[in-house]
Chains A and B, each alone.
Chain A
Amino acid sequence: MTILSFRSVTFGYTPSRPILQDVTFDLHPGRIAAILGPNGAGKTTLLSLTLGWLSAWTGEIRLAGIPLKALSPREHGQRMALVPQAEHTPFDYTVLEYVLMGRAPHLPPLEMPSAADTQIALNALAQVGIESLAQRPVPQLSGGERQLMLLARALAQLFPSSHSQLPNYQTLNLPPSNLSTFQPSNLLLLDEPTSHLDLRNKARLIQILRRLRDSGVTILMTNHEPDVVLAFADDVLLMEAGKPPQFGALDEVFTAEALTRVYGIPIRLAQVNGHKQVLWT
């Protein structure tokens, strides 16, 4: 089974100038995949195509076997959530109110979120470890806290509609096995999740994303930092301007030769204390 498949997808913003050419890959459930490549290679564009926000010129995108175009906006929203790179908030929402908006795809247009939805939102905040910020106004958050809040909103969004599976708020910080409430067809998209974070918050985010993967969520993210990708991606989609991207497991695709070619500067991989490191200066 594949959760996301691209077949010969071509796309560009202006006619006759394609940015993505002949993109084909299959993403399997329960993996963390990174879209890696230099600026302007089309990483975010590929994420927007997956979201259905942009439509491919040619080719087909399927989500868990279903063509993307056959899904309604609400069905989209229940199956896949986006953590954008930055988001403009002009009003003083509290963190909890903001995360609660993630329940929108599970509610008909005129229905208000229920107490169960509030529990799900609190639960999502607890999963990313910022439940103490629930009543804080969003504009007062630091960049790292904001990123975690957007991730919590995405988790609240991916949580299933049937409230029978609702875990008790008290039983939160439990081992990952107890958090496997997500459906295997859930896809979490992140646009440059680590770019505004300091080292500590990067480590924290990576830990949370790993735990989510272990609880069954498939993760697709763009990233322009090879060392972050090396740290925790299972699969890599290596983008190169004007050429079809390479997709495969980290060890196969993430090689010194490929990186040197894609970025146009000499890049080496070294072993430090048993961990691979990227050397680029």
Chain B
Amino acid sequence: MNRSLTLLAFALLALFLLSALIGRYPAPGFLPLDRLADDELAQRLLFNLRLPRLITALLLGMTLSAAGMVFQLLFSNPLVEPGFLGVSQGAAFGAAFAIVFLGGAALVTQTSAALFALAGLGISYLLAHRLRYGGWVLRLVLAGIAVSAFFSAGLGLLKYLADPLTQLPEITFWLLGGLASLTWDKLLSILPAVLLGLTVMFLFRWRLNILALDEQTAFSLGVPAGRERLLLIFAAVLPTAALISVSGMVGWVGLIMPHIARRAFRADARYSLPAAMLLGGIFTMLCDDLARTLLAGEIPLGILTSLFGALIFLALMTFQQPKPH
């Protein structure tokens, strides 16, 4: 099991190096290494444009997959994804709000998206405490649905108010997701939150199995499930919100990668969580490579992750034998 994980890590490393060299300069394809040695433009391109973007794609994939795995475990539900507690819709609303009312400068849009994403989680959590229906998990899910609907109504209103020639296209492109405008500054601004969240999730990987059990069972195993669940929800949402704020909506990674990780490895999160991180990193780097090289113009990353995510999902469900239950 550990050997397969090591192999996967090496595959990720190899892909990272290849991705740094692939692009459309000087011609579509790989950048020859001897050219890199004496072409200053090639060096700057690689270091200032490709590298921060590649690292962000890697972190985006790792974070969305890990957060998806954590949420699926915490909610004992294989169909949840990291944005469902009002986080994705909150970020979308925040970005559109900044574009329409705050001038839409990159840093302002990013901050607004991150703040509204966290607000989405906060409101969902507070609402869940007030609901008088069902257990803790169900209440949180219901509150998340309500908050998402609320923000998506707000997003609709903002789109309606937006200037159709300048602001509306900007909102649309933000919602499609992409890493085209990534810089070192943007990456560094989100790096602490991302690394903190990823580390906490990774360290809790065995414990997550117990947090996935019934609340009373987790209690009988001596685990204060309420407190630790809250910690892990924040550890999953914080880096997700930070990354969405620079990448826009990138869907399906957080839903599909945990499934593949569980099928290819095993349900035990000791193995499936690191596997999901590695697979998510590989998948997102590949999609972003295609996004920036396939056509002369950029293809929004969110379109590619949805397309390939859906194809992989269908392939999984169609070709694998159903397990007896």
Interface membership of chain A positions 122-154, coded 1 if the CB is closer than 8 angstroms to chain B and 0 otherwise: 000000000000000101100000000000000
> How would residues 71 to 97 of chain A score, 1 for a CB under 8 Å from any chain B CB and 0 otherwise?
001111110111010011011111001
Please judge, given known A-B contacts A90-B78, A92-B262, whether A51 and B219 are in contact too, CB under 8 Å: yes
Expressed in whole angstroms, the minimum distance between the Cβ of B88 and any Cβ of chain A is 23
A171 to chain B, nearest CB (A): 27
**CA A140 – CA B267 in complex, angstroms?**
14
B115 partner residues in chain A, CB cutoff 8 A: none
B224: which A residues are within 8 A, CB to CB? 73
Q: A91 touches which one: B206, B207, B212 (CB < 8 A)? A: B212
User: At the interface, yes or no: B298 with Cβ under 8 Å from chain A?
Assistant: no
Query: In the bound complex, do residue B221 and residue A92 qualify as a contact, i.e. CB atoms below 8 Å apart?
Result: no
Given A73-B223, A104-B222, A139-B323, A84 contacting B268 (CB threshold 8 A): no
Which B residues from 184 to 226 make CB contacts under 8 A with A? 203-204, 206-207, 209-210, 212-214, 216-217, 219-224
Residues of chain B with a CB closer than 8 A to A109's CB: 204, 207, 228
Does A105 lie within 8 Å of B270, measured CB to CB? Answer: no
Kindly state the separation between the CA atoms of A68 and B212 in the bound complex, as whole angstroms: 25
Contact: A87 with B217, CB < 8 Å? yes
Minimum Cβ distance to chain A for residue B272 (Å): 9
B219 nearest CB neighbor, chain A only: A53
Interchain CB contact (< 8 A) of A77 among B203, B209, B222, B228: B222
User: Which B residues are in CB contact (< 8 Å) with A110?
Assistant: 203-204, 207
Q: Are B267 and A73 in contact (CB under 8 A)?
A: no
Looking across the interface, which residue of chain B has its beta carbon closest to that of A81? B220
Residue B32 at the chain A interface, CB threshold 8 Å: no
Interface residues of A, dominant DSSP: mixed
Residue in chain B with minimal CB distance to A92: B267
The 9 closest A-B pairs by CB, nearest first: A77-B222, A105-B222, A82-B220, A91-B267, A74-B222, A104-B221, A93-B267, A97-B268, A90-B76
B interface: dominant SS:
loop
Complex CA–CA separation, A157 to B221 (angstroms):
8
Instruction: Tally A-B pairs: CB < 8 A.
Output: 91
* Contact A112–B222 (Cβ < 8 Å): no
The answer for the CA separation of A102 and B262 in the assembled complex, in Å, is 22
User: For the side of the interface on B, what is the size category?
Assistant: 20 to 34
Residue-wise, chain A 99-112 has the 8 Å CB interface mask toward B (1 for contact) of: 00110110001111
- Known interface pairs A73-B222, A113-B206; A140-B268 also in contact (CB < 8 Å): no
For residue A87, give the distance in angstroms from its CB to the closest CB of chain B. Answer: 6
Q: Is the CB of B268 within 8 A of A77?
A: no
Q: How far is the CA of A75 from the CA of B224 in the complex (A)?
A: 12
* Residue B24 is within 8 A (CB to CB) of chain A in the complex: no
B223 and A77 form a contact (CB under 8 A): yes
User: B residues within 8 A CB of A189?
Assistant: 220
Q: Are A91 and B78 in contact (CB under 8 A)?
A: yes
Q: Once the chains bind, are A97 and B267 in contact (CB under 8 Å)?
A: yes
A137:B204 contact, CB within 8 angstroms? no
Q: Confirm or deny: A277 has a beta carbon within 8 angstroms of a beta carbon on chain B.
A: no
Question: Is there a chain A Cβ closer than 8 Å to B4's Cβ?
Answer: no
With CB as the reference atom, state the residue of chain B lying closest to A86: B214
- B156-174, CB < 8 A from A: none
Flag whether A246 is at the interface (Cβ < 8 A). no
**Complex CA distance for A110 and B221, rounded to whole angstroms:** 15
Answer whether residue B324 sits at the interface, using C-beta atoms and an 8 A cutoff. Answer: yes
**19 A-B contact pairs sorted by A residue (CB < 8 Å):** A53-B219, A73-B219, A82-B220, A84-B214, A84-B217, A90-B76, A90-B78, A90-B212, A91-B73, A91-B78, A92-B323, A97-B209, A104-B210, A105-B221, A109-B228, A111-B206, A137-B323, A139-B323, A157-B221
